[in-house]
Amino acid sequence: MSDDEKQILTSASPVEKVPTANVEVMDDPRTQALTEALQSSFKVVRVIMVILAVVFLGSGITKVENNKKAIHLEFGQYKDTLKPGLVWALPNPIHEIVEISVDEKKTITSDVGYRTAEEDEPQASMSFQPTYDGYTLSGDGNVLHVKAEMTFSLDDTKAETIKEYRFGFSDVDEFLKSILDNAVYHASASRSAIDAYTKPSELGNAIERRVQKMIKKNSKDLQLKISVTTPKVKVPEDVKPAFDAFLKVQQENEQKVATAKAEAESIKLNALGQAKVIEGGGQTEANTLLTSLQAEAKAFSEQQSYYEENPLLFEQRLVAETMQRVLTNAVDVFYLSGRQPRIWLNRIPEKRKLKEGETP
């Protein structure tokens, strides 16, 4: 463009702006289809988000069985203990529900005083090796091999027990095993070797008492149902014959004592029976005598008026009755009556007995 043309354009009057009316612009079909598709997608996304929220919240619903209890954790920390039934909590990692069986019985075995370094059963050896043989010491300084087994379950009535069982120990099974080992050593040392060998049930009771005492000492909230079975007790193989011989003598002695006690009890019962019979017979005779005396007293009372009217006649009648009773079965009768003595002899000569083969 030349300089003249630029000057002409510059000098020209400016063009007046003409106001324009609002013009409704028609949507393009493609834009409308895209808008409808986006709206449908947003609806689907909203539905999916609602479903995911329901699933997320529903995943926190847990059913706790009747034989279990649950611990409610919040960010890994104990919150409370839940009872059996449907429970709800926020899903991980906010909340967590840990189920614990309360009636499941677990078994712990203590064989520190029984097993050997290479074998499960103690082996016979010429010399006792403490580094090889598992053993316990008895109260009289002898050596024993003791193997104990304990079953335990939680006390389902104690919420504190559930918490203590889950969080009170890093390994509760290992804790109970160490207590059982201690109880085996303690119970063995509190009695003689022969008592532990011949009375293993009493040893088991002592082990159980020790276990319960040590659990209470270490944790008051850990309430467990504990049962210790009769432990397995063995003596070193090289001295076993001596123990068996003593046991045989002891059993024979106990058998004889039991037999003697049974005989004594039988004699006692027999004597008590005879005493009862004698006592019963005496009581019967006493009752008979009492009845007779009561009857005679009654008869004398009834005859008293007749005696008072004519004592002599009454006495004669009594004498006659008495003599009749006395002379009923008499063989020789010597009777004196009246003022002049008279002797009545009614003895009939006895016939001589014939000897065998003799004629009369």
For 137-175, how does the pLDDT look when each residue is reduced to its tens digit (9 = 90+)? 999 888 899 999 999 887 766 667 777 777 777 788 899
Res 296: pLDDT: 84
- pTM (2 decimals)? 0.52
Taking the C-alpha atoms of residue 186 and residue 77, their distance in angstroms, rounded to an integer, is 38
Listed residue (85, 203, 79, 71) closest to 136, CA to CA: 203
Res 115: pLDDT: 82
Angstrom distances, CA of residue 18 to CA of 11, 12, 126, 245: 21, 18, 127, 134
Find residue 86's DSSP bridge partners. Answer: 63
Find residue 106's DSSP bridge partners. Answer: 152
For domain 106-235, give the fold. Tetrahydropterin Synthase; Chain A (3.30.479)
Residue ranges, CATH 3.30.479.30, the chain: 106-235
Taking the C-alpha atoms of residue 281 and residue 126, their distance in angstroms, rounded to an integer, is 73
Listed residue (57, 127, 68) closest to 92, CA to CA: 57
Res 146: pLDDT: 92
Residues of the chain with pLDDT under 70: 1-27, 52-103, 126, 156-159, 329-360
Res 91: pLDDT: 64
Res 158: pLDDT: 67
Res 247: pLDDT: 83
